[in-house]
Amino acid sequence: MRLCLLRHAEAQPAMPGQPDADRPLTESGEQTARRIGEALRRIRLAPGTIYTSPYRRAQQTAWAVAHALGVPVIEDRLLAPGCGPAELELLLHAYAPEETALIVGHQPDLGELVRWLTGAAIRLPAGGLAVVDMPALRERAGTLHGLYDPAWLAAVMTGRTT
């Protein structure tokens, strides 16, 4: 199985009294999310389904990517901040995803999941993507196939990558 772990795009700072779960994407974040979906299609890394955190910024990212790819989105509270290997295992067993699945979530959770799956210590920026190939869902059983920052994904759309 190939697991794509995408940190939500750039979000607005919290307003006084606003719950963290309600923070939306910035205008730039919305554009980035659309470009990510288009880039994933172009580099043939499209998932069968997108699984997302219930937080607004993650949902907005997931729906923008899904729109570009024409794939469904499933929201699950298991992907809210605090998601770890146990929650990932529950999610994957509950939905039995296709060969490639995309998870939209939060940092530091996604970085910790990559470390657990592969042993690689990473920190995903907003809009960053890690791709892990996993023969089994076990600690350090995966291989980090790729790590993409949002600027590179945007460059894919303009043909300016090297």
Residue 115 domain flag: yes
Residue 107 domain flag: yes
Residue 105 domain flag: yes
Q: What is the chain's mean pLDDT, rounded?
A: 93
- Number of domains, the chain: 1
Residue 138's φ and ψ, nearest 5 degrees, are -140, 155
Bin 27: left if φ > 0, else alpha if -120 < ψ < 50, else beta.
Answer: alpha
Residue 17 domain flag: no
Residue 16 domain flag: no
Q: Which residue has the tokens 């994933």?
A: 40
pLDDT of 70 > 80? The answer is yes
Is the pTM higher than 0.85? The answer reads yes
The reported pLDDT for the residue numbered 162 is 57
Q: Annotated binding residue at 57?
A: yes
pLDDT of 60 > 80? The answer is yes
| DSSP designation for 25 | B
Residue 18 domain flag: no
pLDDT of 96 > 80? The answer is no
Summarize pLDDT for 106-122 with one digit per residue, the tens: 999 999 999 999 999 99
What would you measure as the largest C-alpha separation in the chain, in angstroms? 45
Q: Which residue has the higher pLDDT, 162 or 71?
A: 71
Domain holding 102, by residue range, is: 2-9+23-158
Residue 15 domain flag: no
CATH number at residue 102: 3.40.50.1240
